[in-house]
Structure 1
Amino acid sequence: MSGTSWRSLLPGRDDVAALPRTWRGDLLAGLSVGVVALPLALAFGVSSGAGAEAGIVTAIVAGIVAAVFGGSHIQVSGPTGAMVVVLAPVLAAHGVSALAIVTLMAGVLVVVAGLARLGRLVGLIPWPVIEGFTVGIAIIIFLQQVPAAVGFAAGESGVKAWRAAVDAVLAADWSVAWHSLAVVVAVIVLMRVWPRVTTAVPGAIVAIVLATVGVVVVGSTIPTIGVLPAGLPAPAIPALGLETVRALAGPAVAIAALAAIESLLSARVAHSYTDVGGYDADRELVGQGLASLASGLFGGMPATGAIARTAVNVRAGARTRLAAVTHALVLLAVVVAASGLVARIPLAALSGVLMATAVSMVRPSVVRSVVKASRPDALLFLMTALITVSVDLIYAIVIGMAVAALLALRAVSRAAGVHREELPGDPVPGDERIALLRIDGALFFGTADRVLERVARVHGVRVVILRMSQIRVLDATGAQVLGEVVAALERRNVTVLIKGAQRHHLGLLEHAGTLAALADDRHLVDRLDEAVSRARALVADDVAQPDGAPGSVGA
Structure 2
Amino acid sequence: MTVREVLVRLNVRDLLPRADDYDLRPRSMGADLLAGLTVGVVALPLALAFGVSSGVGPAAGLVTAVIAGAVAAVFGGSRFQVSGPTGAMAVVLAPIVAAYGLPSVALVTLLGGLIVLAAGLLRLGRVVTFIPWPVVEGFTLGIAAIIFLQQVPAALGQDAAVGGNTLVTAVRAVGDAAGALDALALDGTTLWSLAIVALVAVLMLALPRLHAAIPASLVAVVLATVLAETTGAPVARIGALPDTLPVPVLPGVSATALGELLGAAVAIAALAAIESLLSARVAASMAPGGSVYHPDRELVGQGLASVASGLFGGMPATGAIARTAVNVRSGARTRLAAVIHAVVILAVIYIATGPVGRIPLAALAGVLMVTAFRMIGAGTIRAVLRSTRSDAATFVVTAVITVGFDLIEAVQIGLVVAAFFALRRVARASAVHRDPLPGVAHEGDEHIALFRLDGPMFFGASDRILTEVTDTSVRENVLAVILRLSQLGMVDATGAKALADLITTLEQHGITVLVKGVQPRHRKLMTTVGVLDELRHENHLFTTLDDAVTHARSHVHRAGQGTDIPQLEDDADATPPATGKRRARPRLRRP
User: How does the TM-score come out when normalised to structure 1?
Assistant: 0.96
Residue correspondence of structure 1 range 246-285 to structure 2 within 5 A: 246-274=259-287, 275=289, 277-285=291-299
**Counterpart residue number, 1:212:** 225
Distance in 2 of aligned mates of 1:196 and 1:111: 41
C-alpha displacement at 1:545, in angstroms?
A: 5.9
**Counterpart residue number, 1:91:** 97
Contact in 2 for aligned 1:433/1:463 (Cα 8 Å): yes
Distance in 2 of aligned mates of 1:15 and 1:438: 55
Distance in 2 of aligned mates of 1:125 and 1:264: 11
Distance in 2 of aligned mates of 1:549 and 1:82: 76
Distance in 2 of aligned mates of 1:5 and 1:268: 25
User: Are 2:404 and 1:428 equivalent residues in the alignment?
Assistant: no
C-alpha displacement at 1:13, in angstroms?
A: 2.6
Quick one: which of 167, 172, 181 aligns to 1:162?
A: 167
Contact in 2 for aligned 1:492/1:553 (Cα 8 Å): no
Quick one: which of 21, 40, 44 aligns to 1:38?
A: 44
Name the stretch that deviates more: 61-70 or 463-472: 463-472
Quick one: which of 530, 533, 536 aligns to 2:550?
A: 533
Contact in 1 for aligned 2:564/2:590 (Cα 8 Å): no
**Counterpart residue number, 1:334:** 348
User: Are 2:48 and 1:61 equivalent residues in the alignment?
Assistant: no
State the Cα deviation string for residues 508-548 of structure 1 (Å, max 9, x = none).
21222211110111222222223223223333343456368
1:13–1:522 CA distance, 2 compared to 1 (3 A): farther
Name the stretch that deviates more: 509-518 or 38-47: 509-518
Unaligned residue ranges in structure 2 (runs of 5+): 1-6, 181-185, 570-588
Letter in 2 for 1:109: I
C-alpha displacement at 1:79, in angstroms?
A: 0.4
Residue correspondence of structure 1 range 48-447 to structure 2 within 5 A: 48-152=54-158, 154-172=159-177, 174-176=186-188, 177-274=190-287, 275=289, 277-447=291-461
Distance in 2 of aligned mates of 1:330 and 1:241: 37
Contact in 2 for aligned 1:73/1:276 (Cα 8 Å): no
Distance in 1 of aligned mates of 2:444 and 2:8: 63
Name the stretch that deviates more: 355-364 or 200-209: 200-209
C-alpha displacement at 1:117, in angstroms?
A: 1.1
C-alpha displacement at 1:336, in angstroms?
A: 1.3
Distance in 2 of aligned mates of 1:147 and 1:170: 11
User: How does the TM-score come out when normalised to structure 2?
Assistant: 0.90
Matched position secondary structure for 2:453: strand
Distance in 2 of aligned mates of 1:517 and 1:350: 72
Matched position secondary structure for 2:451: strand
Distance in 2 of aligned mates of 1:292 and 1:19: 31
Distance in 1 of aligned mates of 2:8 and 2:251: 34
C-alpha displacement at 1:3, in angstroms?
A: 4.7
Letter in 2 for 1:269: V
State the Cα deviation string for residues 112-161 of structure 1 (Å, max 9, x = none).
11111111111111111111100100000000001111113x41111011
1:79–1:553 CA distance, 2 compared to 1 (3 A): farther
1:371–1:276 CA distance, 2 compared to 1 (3 A): closer
Letter in 2 for 1:406: F
**Counterpart residue number, 1:13:** 19
**Counterpart residue number, 2:577:** none
C-alpha displacement at 1:368, in angstroms?
A: 0.2
Distance in 2 of aligned mates of 1:369 and 1:277: 26
C-alpha displacement at 1:47, in angstroms?
A: 0.5
Contact in 2 for aligned 1:497/1:531 (Cα 8 Å): yes
1:219–1:327 CA distance, 2 compared to 1 (3 A): same
1:420–1:470 CA distance, 2 compared to 1 (3 A): same
Name the stretch that deviates more: 194-203 or 543-552: 543-552
Residue-pair matches, total: 553
Distance in 1 of aligned mates of 2:543 and 2:29: 63
C-alpha displacement at 1:21, in angstroms?
A: 5.5
**Counterpart residue number, 2:586:** none
Contact in 1 for aligned 2:23/2:29 (Cα 8 Å): no
Residue correspondence of structure 1 range 512-551 to structure 2 within 5 A: 512-544=529-561, 546=563
Distance in 2 of aligned mates of 1:367 and 1:200: 28
State the Cα deviation string for residues 252-294 of structure 1 (Å, max 9, x = none).
1100000001001111111112235211111111110000000
State the Cα deviation string for residues 314-349 of structure 1 (Å, max 9, x = none).
111112110110111111112211111111100000
Letter in 2 for 1:332: L
Unaligned residue ranges in structure 1 (runs of 5+): none
Larger radius of gyration: 2
Contact in 2 for aligned 1:259/1:303 (Cα 8 Å): yes
Contact in 2 for aligned 1:212/1:346 (Cα 8 Å): yes
Distance in 2 of aligned mates of 1:348 and 1:99: 25
**Counterpart residue number, 1:504:** 521
Letter in 2 for 1:167: R
Distance in 2 of aligned mates of 1:512 and 1:159: 54
Contact in 2 for aligned 1:276/1:319 (Cα 8 Å): no
Name the stretch that deviates more: 327-336 or 357-366: 327-336
State the Cα deviation string for residues 201-220 of structure 1 (Å, max 9, x = none).
21111110110000000011
**Counterpart residue number, 1:478:** 495
Letter in 2 for 1:194: L
Distance in 2 of aligned mates of 1:418 and 1:17: 60
1:325–1:2 CA distance, 2 compared to 1 (3 A): closer
Contact in 1 for aligned 2:482/2:513 (Cα 8 Å): yes
Contact in 2 for aligned 1:18/1:320 (Cα 8 Å): no
Name the stretch that deviates more: 17-26 or 238-247: 17-26
C-alpha displacement at 1:65, in angstroms?
A: 0.3
State the Cα deviation string for residues 413-433 of structure 1 (Å, max 9, x = none).
111111001122222333222
C-alpha displacement at 1:481, in angstroms?
A: 1.7
Contact in 2 for aligned 1:462/1:553 (Cα 8 Å): no
Matched position secondary structure for 1:493: coil
Q: Indicate the RMSD between aligned Cα atoms, in angstroms.
A: 1.9
Distance in 2 of aligned mates of 1:68 and 1:444: 46
Matched position secondary structure for 2:187: helix
State the Cα deviation string for residues 56-86 of structure 1 (Å, max 9, x = none).
1101100000011111111110000000110
C-alpha displacement at 1:34, in angstroms?
A: 0.7
1:21–1:549 CA distance, 2 compared to 1 (3 A): farther
C-alpha displacement at 1:111, in angstroms?
A: 0.5
Distance in 2 of aligned mates of 1:2 and 1:494: 64
1:406–1:2 CA distance, 2 compared to 1 (3 A): farther
C-alpha displacement at 1:12, in angstroms?
A: 1.5
Name the stretch that deviates more: 543-552 or 317-326: 543-552
Matched position secondary structure for 2:249: coil
Letter in 2 for 1:121: V
